[in-house]
A and B are shown apart, each in its own frame.
Chain A
């Protein structure tokens, strides 16, 4: 079955540590996204990529980094510069990214907690 996978489901970060969240899709989609969700809130965009080897900052990119070396993979690193990383992180993909009609497909999410 095609879809998006995220791992791990839960991740614990120590102070000063960088952690990487995995996102893989086998939908052959060009566009991929990372969102952050805080309790009781909607999703906010961290980074997005519309093609391999290219990505752009979203609304809350500070303290995060990404790479897009392969079409199917878009890992997110939460760096030590992100002072409030505790949140639910969601990865999504869509066919191309620019079409107003496009549907986004979301992964199951990774919940990051700070020790």
Chain B
């Protein structure tokens, strides 16, 4: 699986949008882009994933660059509950199935 690069930490104010960047310059044509988040002392939870087109769900939006070498997770209105570590992960077909986690981006949300 190709490698991703994320900032170590970001800060946001409550009720403002948050844009979490991820660089993946060595992405292959069949890699899916996944985002998970981990709240303190909990297991990770799925946020969103996509291949080429932008994606929206009830939790967030995923904006994928046209060349697919970067993507951005967008939280439209940050809440205190969104304070977590956010992981950007690439998955290819036929791998052993596990997710390869980096250190992620620690998001702090200020009231």
Chain A positions near chain B (C-beta within 8 angstroms): 4, 31, 33, 35, 40-45, 48, 50, 56, 58, 88, 90, 92, 94, 96-109, 111
Contact = CB atoms under 8 A, between A and B. Distances in A.
Q: Kindly state the interface size class of chain B when it binds its partner.
A: 20 to 34
A33 to B, nearest CB: 6
A106 B94 contact: no
B15 to A, nearest CB: 28
Instruction: State the majority secondary structure of interface residues on B.
Output: loop
Nearest to B98: A45
B65 interface: no
B97 A101 contact: no
Contacts of B103: 40-42
Interface stretch (B18-26, B37-45, B68-76): B37-45
B40 to A, nearest CB: 11
Contacts of B32: 100-101
